[in-house]
């Protein structure tokens, strides 16, 4: 059927049992295809340079209006006169989008690296969050176009903003690992960041650990928190009773929730937060007075056996009766593995008046007090699960007589 394609024509177009085409009698190659369902699609047909007849889809009516479709067809006709091939242009665009899907930093992470990270890294989601938080401006770039200069510039900006060198190094190392995977999987031919060296760090630095007074305040704060929660539950139940309502279960006066046993176990074992969250009752032996950190939950990936002192044994025995989960410290919401204690820990630290102290610093406290008590560094290394003795040497200056004896030799006899 030949006719001038207009909105009026298409509004009253006949729908037939078989698809048919309305060929525009004004603009050569412009047509509308009418399906049995009533759907109308605009096309432009043309003869390619090799002589073959081809067509380029413009869009569906009425989403695409007749004037717009006609204008698009006219542009295509002009491009063909100049030697272009709409099908080749579309293919090139599809190829570009496909490359962007896998070869830009964002596309590679989303479509290739993400699945690998989540299945092979214990903290895969944290890795993905770190990458997006740190390098989002680089996400639209093709991997091959990410340069060492990009990272040098980023490091300079972050350093001026006050970001710690260790934090900067961690982010850059994570990005380098992503590009190493791209290299390994054949997406790029060279890692452009391979020449980037980490910023120099003070490897020993200042170790933050609890003083005796701070530890005493932290323990007092834990006990006060316990009493307040118990008293609050009793008061609430008394209020409910006067109104004829059922009371809530009474709280255990020794451990109202996970926080006190978790904090004290961390201080007595030096376990990392993730190791504590993953700890199961089957990993604890009260007979042998030790616990086992399973390799796949340890930062080093190696299983280690940690002895339990008398306080650790007592608090675990007292806490065990309050828990109905395979995990030692289950989430109070899901009863599965605990995911975070940020809010509870922050409130406790503020209550105790302990400033500039992270939960991880309980691990430093454990190691520091061992060294100050005269325990040798190799024993501390094994208890901490350090992969090298250099990691443990940051505590060496705390050893009694470690340096005092040395300088005393200078005194004339």
Read off the pLDDT of residues 331-389 as tens digits, 9 standing for 90 and up: 988 989 998 999 999 999 999 999 999 999 999 999 989 988 888 889 989 999 888 88
Tell me: the pLDDT tens digits for 89-147? 666 666 566 655 678 899 899 989 999 999 988 788 999 999 999 999 999 998 888 99
Neighbours of 351 (CB within 10 A): 16
User: How far is 100 from 144, CA to CA, in rounded Å?
Assistant: 12
pLDDT at 39 (0 to 100): 93
User: How far is 388 from 378, CA to CA, in rounded Å?
Assistant: 10
Nearest to 26, CA basis, from 40, 42, 5: 5
Q: Retrieve residue 160's tokens.
A: 């001026």
User: How far is 191 from 202, CA to CA, in rounded Å?
Assistant: 28
Say how many residues make up the chain.
Answer: 413
Neighbours of 27 (CB within 10 A): 16
Which burial class, exposed, middle or buried, applies to 11 when counting CB atoms under 10 A from its CB (0-12, 13-18, 19+)? exposed
Tell me: the pLDDT tens digits for 282-317? 999 999 999 999 877 777 677 899 999 999 999 999
CB 30 within 8 A of CB 22: no
User: How far is 393 from 388, CA to CA, in rounded Å?
Assistant: 9
CB 222 within 8 A of CB 254: no
Sequence-ordered list of residues with C-beta below 8 angstroms from that of 16, at least 6 positions apart, any chain: 34, 36
Q: Name the maximum alpha-carbon separation found in the chain.
A: 118
């Amino acid at each position: 059927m030949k006719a001038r394609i207009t909105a009026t024509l298409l509004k009253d177009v006949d729908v037939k049992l078989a698809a048919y085409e309305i060929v525009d009698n004004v603009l050569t190659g412009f047509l509308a295809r009418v399906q049995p369902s009533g759907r109308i699609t605009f096309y432009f047909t043309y003869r390619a340079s090799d002589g073959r007849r081809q067509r380029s889809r413009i869009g569906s009516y009425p989403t695409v209006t007749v004037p717009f479709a006609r204008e698009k067809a006219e542009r295509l006709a002009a491009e063909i006169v100049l030697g272009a091939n709409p099908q080749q242009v579309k293919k090139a665009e599809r190829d570009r989008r496909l490359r962007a899907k896998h070869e830009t930093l964002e596309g590679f992470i989303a479509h290739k690296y993400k699945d690998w990270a989540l299945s092979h890294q214990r903290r895969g989601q944290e890795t993905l969050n770190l990458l997006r938080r740190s390098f989002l401006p680089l996400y639209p770039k093709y991997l091959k176009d990410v340069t060492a200069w990009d990272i040098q510039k980023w490091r300079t900006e972050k350093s001026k903003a006050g970001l710690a060198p260790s934090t900067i190094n961690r982010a850059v190392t994570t990005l380098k690992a992503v590009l190493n995977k791209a290299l390994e999987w054949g997406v790029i031919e060279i890692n452009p960041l391979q020449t980037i060296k980490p910023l120099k760090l003070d490897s020993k630095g200042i170790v933050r650990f609890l003083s005796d007074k701070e530890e005493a305040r932290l323990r007092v704060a834990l006990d006060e928190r316990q009493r307040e929660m118990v008293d609050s539950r009793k008061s609430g139940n008394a209020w409910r009773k006067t109104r004829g309502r059922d009371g809530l279960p009474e709280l255990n006066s020794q451990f109202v929730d996970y926080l006190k046993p978790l904090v004290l176990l961390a201080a007595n074992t030096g376990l990392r937060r993730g190791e504590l969250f993953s700890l199961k009752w089957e990993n604890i032996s009260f007979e042998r007075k030790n616990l086992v950190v399973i390799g796949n939950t340890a930062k080093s990936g190696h299983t280690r056996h940690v002895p339990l002192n008398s306080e650790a044994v007592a608090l675990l025995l007292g806490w065990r009766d309050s828990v109905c989960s395979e995990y030692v410290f289950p989430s109070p919401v899901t009863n599965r593995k605990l995911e975070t204690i940020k809010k509870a820990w922050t409130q406790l630290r503020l209550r105790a008046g302990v400033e500039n102290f992270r939960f991880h610093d309980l691990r430093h406290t454990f190691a520091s007090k061992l060294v100050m008590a005269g325990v040798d560094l190799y024993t501390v290394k094994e208890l901490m699960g350090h992969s090298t003795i250099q990691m443990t040497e940051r505590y060496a200056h705390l050893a009694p007589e470690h340096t005092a004896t040395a300088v005393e030799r200078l005194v004339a006899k």
